[in-house]
Amino acid sequence: MFLIISVSTFLASCEKEPIIITADFTADKFEIEEGDSITFTDISTGEPTSWNWTFEGGEPASSTEQNPTVSYSVAGTYEVSLTITNGDAEDTETKVNYITVNEKPVPFQKLYDQGIDKYLGVFTPSSSNTTPQGVTEHIFTGMDAPICFTGNQFSMFTRNGSSNNLLIFTQGGGFCSPMACDAVDTGIPLLPFGILNPNDAQNTLANYNVGYIPYCDGSAMMGDNEVDSDGDGVNDRFFAGLKNLSASLDVIAQTYPSPDKIVLAGNSAGGFAVHAALPLVRKLYPDTKIIVINDAGVGVALPGMFTTLFNYWNANAFIPADCNNCIGTDGNLTDYHAYQLAQDDNFTLAYTSSKQDSVIAAGMGAMAHELELIEATNELNAAYPTRFQGLIGNGEYHTTIMRDFDRPIGTTTVSQWITNMINESDDWTTIIE
């Protein structure tokens, strides 16, 4: 007996059934803020061999990867579509209103709501004069103008460099309190020392443009108050720090409108003041990286001191109303600095100080200051290990970045450590002698 099978029957029996494919996908997040990214994962069935994605509002707008990552820069609600093929068949899945992108919160918005930016754009210098050394003094005069706390005239300075980077320097000079006033009443002009020296080849900021804000307001550049200090019925202390700071930053922003990078540095009372300046600098330069250096103004004090000072200066607008621990029960401003780091992820912060700073420790004792300073440094470094570091040396010296820029601390110097910070080097680490 012979088995006869037709060729057509044989071929038909050998043909494979087509594989049914169904496009589908998921995402690791469905709601993000502007600037964030989402990874999409193909979960299609039917063994697809090619993928064609389209992302409304995304970057990239399309992809042929199986599991692409996409960023979204503009707030809105967007659809995503995926078309798959396997050589025999094709299928498309479109998910409407699939991704929600929310506006990124404005850093420090609560402080703006509380009025710390109310003097931005209000004052302009009455005159500006440039010296043969290339330093321009901008002088403020007139009714209700920026002023020193005793009524002396206020001015600030700019100096052009050869790069498109910007150094904003807030000078120090003591505090006024209800009990005593130990503060300079005439601003120190721009002097080419330390971090401000344009002729020091070891100074990584030598070629920066400079905006220099002298100190003469007695209120860490935060005050907005007038007081009668001697009880004669006439106000004689004018805590115009917020005016002075705001007017100076306006001049700086107009002179240097688009820097590549900003270093915001200050020493002593000016070290405290960098934290007042930061939200205002951020408002004027919303997208620029800011490097903040607090030299010997790290916010360690006896309980109640900062509460008393802020009330006396009328500076509480700088403390967000919902930050109950920004002035800690221990008296320190560590949590305020942590609040700033949490608000704005586009800046880094450094403390430079000595363990028993003869000026800052005078009111609380050298050993108490040392313990509080080290605790604050370690706390911030643990919370923000890539964005905060401290350089804490032995001894009682007060400030380094102007008058002792080459001081050796541990295995480095102040100047080299700041260079590492600015260059985002892995060698920028916390050092406590």
CATH fourth-level superfamily of 18-102: Immunoglobulins (2.60.40.10)
Q: Can you tell me which residue has the tokens 């169904």?
A: 22
Average pLDDT, the chain: 95
Q: Which CATH number describes the domain made up of 109-432?
A: 3.40.50
**pLDDT of amino acid 4:** 44
CA distance 55 to 110: 34
The structure tokens 């009111």 sit at: 363
**What are the pLDDT digits (tens) for 121-154?**
999 999 999 999 999 999 999 989 999 999 999 9
The domain spans of the chain are 18-102, 109-432
Hey, do 18-102 and 109-432 end up sharing a CATH topology, with the first three levels equal? no
Q: What is the pTM of this model?
A: 0.85
Q: What's the token pair of residue 124?
A: 């302009």
pLDDT in tens, 157-177: 999 999 999 999 999 999 999
Q: Is the pLDDT of residue 12 over 80?
A: no
Burial of 47 (0-12, 13-18, 19+ CB in 10 A): exposed
Using the predicted structure, report yes or no on whether residue 8 has a pLDDT greater than 70. Answer: no
Mean pLDDT of 97-110: 95
Residue 428 structure tokens: 């920028």
Report the pLDDT value the prediction gives residue 1, as an integer from 0 to 100: 40
Percent of the chain with pLDDT over 70: 96
Examine the pLDDT at 23 and tell me if it is beyond 70. Answer: yes
Residue 408: other Cβ atoms inside 10 A: 11
- Round to whole Å and give the CA distance between 89 and 16: 14
Contact (Cβ atoms closer than 8 angstroms) between residue 61 and residue 54: yes
374-380: list long-range contacts, CB under 8 Å, 24+ apart. 374/432, 375/334, 376/298, 376/299, 376/300, 376/332, 376/334, 376/351, 377/298, 377/351, 377/430, 377/432, 378/430, 379/334, 379/338, 380/334, 380/337, 380/338, 380/341, 380/349, 380/351
pLDDT beyond 80 at 312:
yes
Q: In the predicted model, what is the mean pLDDT of residues 290-317? A: 96
Is it the case that residue 16 has pLDDT exceeding 90? no
